[in-house]
Amino acid sequence: MDWTVYWFMFPVCITVASLAMFSGISGAAMLIPVFLIGFPLFDVPTLTTVAAIGTALFLETSGFSSGVYGYMRRQLVDWKMARGLIMWSLPAAAFGALLTRSVPEDALRIGYGVAMVLLAYLLLQHAREGHAAGPAKVPHGSERREVTSAQGRTYRYSVWGMNTSRAHAVGGGTAAGMISTGIGETVMPNLAGRLRVPLPVAAATSTVVVAGTVVGATATHLFQLAAEDGFNAIPWNLIVWAVPGAIIGAQIGARLQGRLSERLTGLIFGALFLVIGLVFVVAFTFFSDELG
């Protein structure tokens, strides 16, 4: 096993984890293109689609766990909401991971591309509407919450309609298990958009939900890889470079959170995911043979 072939994943994962933690959006969404399109183009050992999904989730677990620590220190997490969503999203993610074995690789790849286009639409739509469009209409019987940060700033907001939030968590968790992304992209807009949770609290809480969710998907994927082909099927020579990068990048991203407006962040990531989605659909529809 060549332990230096994936050295470039160290800076790549620093960048990806920084962006993911900064936005509260899945880092795996940006890693899958590197694995499935970048590796064949740059002539390094390639991964199967299922191995790429499992590896991306493993790295996301490392990065988001580091980010959770950063947000814990800043005391920005709504723990009650996070626990309530993880109870639904974690088993859904494990179920989604099990489903990947019964789906053809080309279908997974094209499905990933389509999912990216849909997520781009949701992010751009949310950015267009704007988080600061005014206070949400709070239904009768909603629960008032407040979170006080380590810097002494208190954020106050209301929580209601948790059945809708749980449905988002189940859908996003299943998608995360199948294609490595979807949980952060459904939870974050729901918290910041529908519930009008203040952006720092929404990003911190979304980070905890993503970290908790991908644990189930990651464990399921890695267990299946090891059960089918042994532990050598897990790309340890990639992980040894990528995990430190993910941990470092997550700390950087947590510190940068809030430096850009939510609208600008949504526009940037919406455009990025739109490009990724279209590239995937085109690449694995017309050039699938060249990309393996």
Rg from Cα positions in the chain: 18
C-alpha to C-alpha distance for 81 and 83, rounded to whole angstroms: 6
Residue 155, strand partner residues: 147
What 3 state SS string does 199-211 have?
A: HHHHHHHHHHHHH
Over pLDDT 90: what percentage of the chain? 21
pLDDT of amino acid 9: 94
- Report yes or no: 29 and 180 within 8 Å, Cβ to Cβ: yes
For the chain, the structural domain boundaries read 9-134+144-286
pTM: 0.75
With 0-12 CB in 10 A as exposed, 13-18 as middle and 19+ as buried, what is 279? middle
pLDDT of residue 8: 94
| N-to-C CA span, the chain | 21
Least confident of 34-48, 181-195, 242-256: 181-195
- Whether 39 shows a pLDDT value over 60: the answer reads yes
**How far is Cα 147 from Cα 145, in angstroms, rounded to an integer?**
7
The answer, yes or no, to whether residue 111 has pLDDT greater than 60, is yes
Give which of 150, 174, 7, 13 is closest to 77, Cα–Cα.
150
Using one digit for the tens of pLDDT, what is the confidence trace for 137-153?
666 668 899 999 988 99
pLDDT of 134 over the 60 cut: no
The answer for 157, left when phi > 0, alpha when psi is -120 to 50, beta otherwise, is beta
Q: Is the pLDDT of residue 62 over 70?
A: yes
3-class SS of residue 81: helix
Q: Which residues pair with 147 in a beta bridge?
A: 155
